[in-house]
Amino acid sequence: MTQSSMLIDLSQDSEPEDLIQPKPPRLFSANLAHRELSSTIPLKRKSDIDSDSSSVSPFNAFTPVLQPNNGNINNTHVIFNPKRRSEPYTPSPAPESGIELSVVVPSPSAQLKREIDSAEFIPDIKLTALSQEFYPTDALEKRATRGAYPAARSVKREAIPFRIGNPGPFLTEKERKPVVDTLCESLKRKLATIKGPPVTVSPGDMKRLAQSTSSFEFINRYKLRDGVTPIGNEFSAGCSCNEICDPARCSCLTQEENSEERIIPYKTSKEDPRFWGLTPEFMQRTSMIYECNSLCGCNERCWNKVITQGRKVKLEIFHTGKRGFGLRSPDFIRAGQFIDLYLGEVITTKHADEREKAAAARNAPSYLFSLDFLVNDDGIYVVDGCNFGGATRFINHSCNPNCKMFTVSRNHGDEYLYDLAFFAVKDIQPGMEFTFDYNPHMEQVDKVEPGAVPCLCGEPNCRGQLWANKKKRRERF
């Protein structure tokens, strides 16, 4: 029997040149894709499959064999040999016995030729589960290498020449800026932050004060520390006066005991109607001043807002000699005139005891004032002006003072937190030192007790000592 052959033309499947093809992968494979055979090829009958089951497994069908014709890819024949087995099984119908099937593979399109020519062949490719480019396994080692200290560099000291010449600017004492000059500049910046008229330092005492207050900060209001909580505005109230308060009916003022007459702390000056100061009668009292606040109906120019309007006098810090630094003013101060507030850190009694004990251990002065005018229990607060405060921190003691500290309340519902204000109790000439009595309840003694804090005011009525022992008594003022 003569062997017949069948030729299948696949040129109809060739893609047109003008069709844009997606870019193939970089690894090009020449495997022949599976196609369904033409319906003109008769299918193998079931009887033939059953009869050939002993020799040919249904899972081992014919295998296409690619036979090039003289190296021309356009005339390549694919011969299906039914007797040759291949894996895996391709479920294509086997041709009848004795028929050789030839397939003409069409030539590739121009786009495919360009992609084949530009493709690169990568030999010995190793497939891994994860890409090292996106999932590097040595990332921790590389990060540790970058964060490690650099290796010590080997230097031959004997090969480096030793040069002798002029030292650099950082080694020259003449060009180096003294530390005290830096402290003076810092002190000037601190003084500039104080609100109100300028606070200056005596020209000859700038360096000494800068060294003494290097760790001191000037502030304009209290610094509330842990454990100190002011009451809210809902517990306070203001008067219902309009524009300017009426002394006869202002509800912010307190009344005399067993009388409906109100205590008026301020009055205007005969020399200057714009000046408001303490009345001579009030300066003899120990009462608290109750000023109007932001909840009142009066305006900012109200006569009962002397503390709220702030300091109006210039201040100067100077060195007194054996009594340390003091405070004075180049302005004339009238009796009853407000000078400034005493400021500092507001702390609890427990913290105040700890600070006072630490100050006594290093023989340093303390600047503690208890806010116990209205209440006197373990829950009172203490103002510490050691590290934070105002210029009034430098006012010295005198047994014949020209200033007095008064308590001022601007939030009438708070009995634990209020202001400490200095007022002049007599006329003070320009350049005269401000003084007040540290311990007005101390009695005069003929002989200073051992361990007592001596008084250095030098006044004729000097009591001789401030406190009976080194521990400062935090009296109320």
User: Residue 397 corresponds to which tokens in the numbers above?
Assistant: 């003691």
Residues in CB range of 112: below 8 A, 6 or more apart: 15, 21, 24
135: annotated active-site residue: no
438: annotated active-site residue: yes
- Sequence-ordered alpha helix ranges (H) in 221-348: 280-283, 306-309
Instruction: Write 321-325 long-range contacts (CB < 8 A, 24+).
Output: 322/456, 323/396, 323/456, 323/457, 324/394, 324/396, 325/205, 325/209, 325/212, 325/394
Handedness of CA 207, 210, 213, 219 (dihedral sign): positive
Tell me the chain's radius of gyration from C-alpha atoms. Answer: 51
Identify the H or E element spanning 328: strand 325-328
Backbone angles phi, psi at 131, to 5 degrees: -80, 130
DSSP at 51: H
The active-site residue, picked from 342, 367, 381, 418, is 342
The active-site residue, picked from 266, 290, 416, 438, is 438
- Sequence-ordered alpha helix ranges (H) in 263-348: 280-283, 306-309
Identify the H or E element spanning 113: helix 110-118
* Residue numbers annotated as active site: 342, 438
